[in-house]
Structure formats: C-alpha cells, structure tokens
Amino acid sequence: MAAIYWAADSTVQYNSILTYPQTGIGQMMHLFLKPEVTVCNHAINGRSTKSFLEQGRLAAIEEKIQPEDFLFIQFGHNDEKKEDPLRFTEPFGAYSDNLKIYIETARKKKAYPVLITPIERRRFDANGNLGPGEHAEYVKAMKQVAKECDVPLIDLYTRSRELLSKLGPEGAKQIYISVGPDIYPNFPDGKEDLTHLCVRGAICYASYIAEGLKALGGRYADLVLDLQTVEQVRAMQQ
C-alpha cells in the first residue's frame, strides 16, 4: 500500500515529550488510515514553503517517495511572517511558485500531491468573536494553485474557522494548547500559544483530513477507514 509523505510546519510535525503537550496533525493521522498505509512525516517546526525547500527537506522526500505514494503539502503559518526574510513569501508570488515546485516534485516521481490549507490560529477579539483570518490570502493563493495545477485540495482552514467559531475562546482551549495547567517548558512565562494543538485538537483536525480524502474518492478515499469509524473516534474527543 502507498505511503503518505508530509511536507509542512509545526502544526503537523511529530512531537516528543520535549514539546509536550504540543501534538501535530500528522502525528495522529494514522488513527484514521487503513493499517497498511504509512505516514512519513517530514513536517517540522518553523518552516515555510521557502525555508523547507532551501534546507533540502523537499529533496529528502524526493529521494524516498515512490510511484503511487502521496505528498501532502500544508504551509502558511510561517510564510506570512514578514519580519523574517528567511521564511516570508508573498502569497501570490513565491508562495504560489513554491507550491508548484512541491507539486511538480511529486508528479516527477509519479506520486500524488494533495494541497491542505493551514489551520486557523486561536485568536479571538475582546467580544469573543473569532478574528478576520490569519491566513486568508495564503488560502486564496493555495486554492488558485490547486485549480491551475489540477491538484486535489482539502480546505482545513475553513473547517478550523467553523469549529473555532462554534467553540468560542474558552472551548477552543480544549483543542489548542493553552498556557496554565499545561506542562510546556519551552514557553516563557506569560506567553500564550495560539497556534499549536493538543492531542484532542490534532485528532479532530486529522479526522477532517480523513473526511476530505473520503470526499475526494478513488485512490484518496482508499487510504481511509470507513467514515463511521472516523465519526466514532472524533466523538470520543468531544
């Protein structure tokens, strides 16, 4: 059976106890996949489409990925950091161009690229309303690339905004990391994490990706357990 390779940032990466309780979506994805499907998670903290490429991380995937495998591409959080020239990309400039490099890399190896929009940050205003959108332009750019290149896209951004709006600022702390009772030694006192997920959140968003794959049908749906099982696992996290 095929393998899933993942090129992404800290919201997807595999975590050890050193970053507990942070949990990446890719870390929990196996819960929703058929037993014969493997996940090769190359996602890593702090990377953008630009820095992931320049550090040779896509090249490492290219060496290993095989025909009929899948390349999941999920970036945006770090591409938008204008203060960091090593990571920043313009959404309809280098970001779009870089996504096309990832797509072409997969296709050269006769693998199947899948674009996945970044999850929203847990940022609410004083009235408890979810902010206007941290990644909106990057999401638009990714959707445009998906259309231009005829690549499947799973819109995790929209699903995450819907969920955060439903949960509200306090409920969202049940799926994202919240400073306080959590043990997170890498965070300085008083700093709040609005981006990363705990185990419950990673499972929830992994289930959304599973649903997206199921909706795509064909070879993508064949990766995933039946939807009833997906619903049962997610219900346990509510």
Q: Which amino acid is at 61?
A: I
Structure tokens at 140: 């638009």
Q: How many CA atoms lie within 13 A of 175 on its CB side?
A: 27
Q: Which amino acid is at 18?
A: L
Q: Which amino acid is at 36?
A: E
Q: What are phi and psi of 159, to 5 degrees?
A: -60, -40
Q: Indicate if the alpha-carbon torsion angle 17, 23, 25, 29 is positive or negative.
A: positive
Residues that are catalytic = 10, 192, 196
Structure tokens at 158: 């929209």
- Please work out, in degrees rounded to the nearest 5, the angle formed at the alpha carbon of residue 211 by the alpha carbons of 208 and 217: 150
CB 138 within 8 Å of CB 82: no
CB 11 within 8 Å of CB 28: no
